[in-house]
Amino acid sequence: MQILVIAEHDSAELRPATLSALAFAQSVAQATAGTLQLLVLGHELASVVAKGVKYSPVFVADSPELATPVADRYAQVIATVVKDQSIDLLVAASTSQAKDIVGRAGGLLGGAMASDVTGHSFEEGELQLERPIYAGAAVATVSLLGSPKIVTIRPSSYSPAESKDVTNEVHNLTIESSSLPNQIQLESVESKKSARPDVTEARVVVSGGRAFKNSEDFERIVGGLADALEGATGSSRALVDAGITPNELQVGQTGKIVAPELYVALGISGAVQHLAGMKNSRTIVAINNDLEAPIFGVADYGLVADVYEAVPELVRKLQQQAN
Amino acid sequence: MKIIVPTKRVVDPDQKIRASADGSRFEIDHLPFVINPFDAIALEEAVRIREQHSSDVEVVAVGIGVPEYEEQLRSAIAVGADRAVRIACDQELDPWNISCVLKAFVDQESPDLVVMGKQAVDDDSNQVGQFLAAQLGWPQATFASHVELSESNLHIHRETDAGIEVVSMPMPAIITADLRLNEPRYASLPSIMRARKKKIEEVEIETLGVKIEPRVQVLSVRTEQSSRTCTRVDNVDQLLECLRGEAEVL
């Protein structure tokens, strides 16, 4: 299969999620004796391209009109490249950006698409994909009919590809700005830069739920434990709805899906929709003052306690040990 | 102005889903069904737009499915849809074919806006809105958490991995609704009674001229069980011991 992976980046580095997409693509390329290439879209991409060539040949769509990832423009460029290069399989990591952009590209390319794939295999030459459904309560094994096939993968299900000490070719694409759609205007992006790691990339995630009454408490207690463990903070839906935490911290079926080494659920009851976002974490700890909270059903270790008391004590003891 | 709200009939998300022993399908025939929660949010938004605008706004709820779907479409009318349409179909359609059917319906109805949920809570694909926008060549605003209309321009907040993104676009456009766009109202009893008398329009797929060509083949399904057993600890010291010791995570 001729495979094209869409790179997600911050203008300097490839995002770790893209490395997971590359790992899936490499596996399929190997199994089908196929080819793999990366497509990088944006503006002023030298740094990203320099990283990309360590994984595969890179197609570069560099234009001021592509400086920000806007769905109509990006999807059109992606669809054009897929057709021009006779791509059989379009791959991306299942991030909010890919859902928006690669979803639209899928619509331009005939819709043979599977999202949020968590596993794959080949049965008699046919690519079979596993994907979670019903908020992760079930898994469907599917195959895609027609070509090209479009697959987004769940980053936490695929370990990042390893770069090689090579420099693959770069192909610079000509972008006809006048042919690009121009209906969606990006007015602003409000994103707070945090010193903490990204919740989808951290080794440790400490999440808070309804037990926390305000942002200060959340920051002090959930943030405090996250910092003691050099981890990221996450949130249940309830706190985002209440305006206590920002949406990008939400872990769950319709938020972020994480699978860190350690997930600590503080004051989170454990609704199915939240579990969908974290139940594949390697070790799960739950602290909740409700003995019967459903979260204990998916935890490895459970402590029935008031998070306002237990967590500061935990942080103190972690810091003592460190000193 | 006309707003179309595509909806999907899904198993009530609080229900436990069980796969058949042979893994060929889910045993859901006797479970309660509801309108996909995200589509209920989309419908609420459409009704609010009508309530906020003095100009004539028609809200049309549409669903693709079996006759039993009329119950959910009637509740859409009770919440405030002016019309409800069932596109008769007794097979499960994948996102691409759903999009093809909706495109044909949109071509017939010529709405200014299509507002739908960002994903269905059974399939969790989060694709149809984007497919439809691509097929129509319309701008899209996915994962909307706030919508403002002025003249014929839309001003939309989107929830993304990075935070809130603000975009603007002209109509006609597609909006997919995220959780925090609004909190859907409960239909009042008088509205529910009135909705009982309303006719649900029925459209045959053939009249839309759509040829169903599957793109996704479901080979098997299974339910996931948690295989963890929870070790209950009594205090923080014990927890630390476990995490440093057998869990090897600290």
DSSP result, chain B: -EEEEEE-EEE-TTSPP-B-TTSSSB--TTS-EEE-HHHHHHHHHHHHHHHH-SS--EEEEEEEE-GGGHHHHHHHHHHT-SEEEEEE--SPPPHHHHHHHHHHHHHHH--SEEEEESS-TTT----HHHHHHHHHT--EEEEEEEEEEETTEEEEEEEETTEEEEEEEESSEEEEE-GGG--PPPPPHHHHHHHHHSPPEEEEGGGGTPPP---EEEEEEEE------PEEESSHHHHHHHHHTTT---
Mean pLDDT, rounded, for B105-127: 97
- Amino acid letter, B233: V
Of A107, A183, A186, the CB nearest to B135: A107
Q: CB atoms < 10 A from the CB of B211, how many?
A: 8
pLDDT of residue B67: 96
| pLDDT above 70 as % of chain B | 99
Model confidence at A254: pLDDT above 90: no
Tell the residue number behind the tokens 């479009």, with chain if given: A150
Reported confidence tier of residue B225, pLDDT bands at 50, 70, 90: confident
Partner B contacted by A110 (CB < 8 A): yes
Q: Tell me, what's the pLDDT at B59?
A: 97
CA dihedral defined by A78, A82, A87, A88, rounded to 10 degrees? Answer: 80
- Sorted by where each starts, the structural domains of chain A and their CATH numbers stand as 2-179 (3.40.50.620), 204-322 (3.40.50.1220)
Please check whether residue B10 is in contact with residue B36, taking contact to mean a CB–CB distance below 8 angstroms. Answer: yes
% residues pLDDT > 90 (chain A):
96
For A179, how many CA atoms within 13 A lie in the half-sphere containing its CB?
Answer: 7
For residue A109, give how far its alpha carbon lies from the nearest alpha carbon of chain B (Å): 9
More confident residue, A194 or B117: B117
pLDDT digits (tens, 9 = 90+) for B175-217: 999 999 999 999 999 999 999 999 999 999 999 999 999 999 9
Residues B144-154, mean pLDDT to the nearest whole number = 93
Write down the pLDDT at residue B107.
98
Angle at B144 (CA atoms; ends B141, B146), nearest 5 degrees: 120
> Chain B partners of A184 at a C-beta cutoff of 8 Å?
139-141, 167-169
Q: What's the rounded mean pLDDT across residues A172-176?
A: 95
**pLDDT of A17 above 90:** yes
Q: Is the pLDDT of residue A152 over 90?
A: yes
| The pLDDT value given to residue A192 | 76
User: Is CATH 3.40.50.620 the classification given to domain B2-244?
Assistant: yes
Answer whether A48's CB lies under 8 Å from A61's CB.
Answer: no
Percent of chain B predicted with pLDDT > 90: 93
Can you tell me the ipTM of this complex? Answer: 0.96
Residue A222, both tokens: 């959930």
Which residues of chain B lie closer than 8 angstroms to A128, CB-CB?
A: 219
Q: Quote the pLDDT of residue B47.
A: 97
How far is residue B79's CA from residue B34's CA, in Å, rounded to a whole number?
14
Determine, for residues A229 and B19 on separate chains, whether the beta-carbon distance falls below 8 Å: no
Cis-peptide, bond into residue A294, ω within 30° of zero: no
Q: Is A307 on the interface with B (CB under 8 A)?
A: no
Q: Which two tokens stand for residue A173?
A: 């694409």
Contact A207, A268 (CB under 8 A): yes
Mean local confidence (pLDDT), A13-41? 97
Helix (H) or strand (E) holding A120: strand A119-123
Evaluate if residue B151 carries a pLDDT over 90: no
* Exposed / middle / buried, residue B36 (Cβ in 10 Å: 0-12, 13-18, 19+): buried
Specify the amino acid at residue A249. Answer: L
pLDDT at A171: 98
Q: How confident is the model at residue B226 (pLDDT cuts 50, 70, 90)?
A: confident
Q: Hey, are the CB atoms on B134 and A106 less than 8 Å from each other? A: yes
Residues contacting B66, CB < 8 A, separation 6+: B9, B88, B89, B90
Banded pLDDT at A322 (limits 50, 70, 90) = confident
d(CA B147, CA B50): 13
| Each residue's pLDDT tens digit, B177-186 | 999 999 999 9
The mean per-residue pLDDT over the stretch A250-258 comes to 94
pLDDT for A213-234, tens place per residue?
999 999 999 999 999 999 999 9
pLDDT per residue over A179-208, tens digit each? 999 999 999 998 777 899 999 999 999 999
The predicted-structure confidence for A266-281, as pLDDT tens digits, reads as follows 999 999 999 999 999 9
Query: Do B97 and B216 meet the contact criterion of CB atoms below 8 Å apart?
Result: no
Query: Given this model, what pLDDT does residue A190 score?
Result: 85
Q: How far apart are CA B126 and CA B36, in angstroms?
A: 12
Task: Please tell me the distance in Å from A166's CA to the nearest CA on chain B.
Answer: 32
Q: Give dist(CA B149, CA B112) in Å, integer.
A: 12
Strands B58-65 and B83-88: parallel
| Residue-averaged pLDDT of chain A | 96
Mean pLDDT (whole number) for B91-100: 97
Interface test with B, best of A254, A311, A316 (most B CBs within 10 A): A254
Q: What are the boundaries of each domain within chain B? A: 2-244
**CA separation for the pair B113, A245 (Å, rounded):** 31
Q: How far apart are CA A173 and CA A154, in angstroms?
A: 28
For residues B76-95, give the mean pLDDT: 96
- Residue B227 confidence (pLDDT) above 90: no
Mean pLDDT of chain B: 95
Rounded mean pLDDT of A164-178?
A: 94
- Is pLDDT of B250 > 80? yes
Q: What is the largest CA-CA distance in chain B?
A: 69
Closest CA relative to residue B120, chosen from A190, A254, A111: A254
